[in-house]
């Protein structure tokens, strides 16, 4: 559905993760609405085991959300190392 990249927030001087909707899906209005609903739902959760959402932008050509960056293995890397969860 999209990709996540590591970035640096120059205004707040911190490393963040940016989740971008796949450009091929960004033209679909329903997918864009679902993406924003996902961001709102995730932002409503506050728990030590959940990533904090810092912001969402849905008006540009590719919607994205900015979230807390967590250093570590990717999910595929974890699955390769330990098998299924």
Domain ranges across the chain: 2-82
Whole-prediction pTM: 0.80
CATH class of 2-82: alpha beta
Task: Give the E-state strand segments of the chain in sequence order.
Answer: 2-9, 14-21, 53-57, 64-68
Higher pLDDT, 9 or 49: 9
Residue-wise pLDDT for 41-76, tens only, equals: 999 999 998 899 999 998 889 999 999 999 888 888
Confidence of residue 40 (pLDDT cuts 50, 70, 90): very high
pLDDT of residue 75: 81
- pLDDT for 59 equals 87
């Amino acid at each position: 559905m999209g990709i996540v990249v590591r970035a640096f927030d120059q205004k707040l001087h911190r490393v963040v993760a940016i989740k971008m909707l796949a450009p091929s899906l960004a033209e679909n209005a329903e997918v864009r609405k679902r993406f924003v609903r996902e961001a709102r739902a995730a932002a409503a959760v506050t728990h030590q085991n959940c990533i904090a959402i810092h912001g969402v932008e849905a008006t540009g050509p590719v919607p994205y959300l900015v979230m807390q960056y967590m250093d570590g293995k990717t999910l595929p890397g974890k699955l390769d190392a330990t098998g299924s969860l």
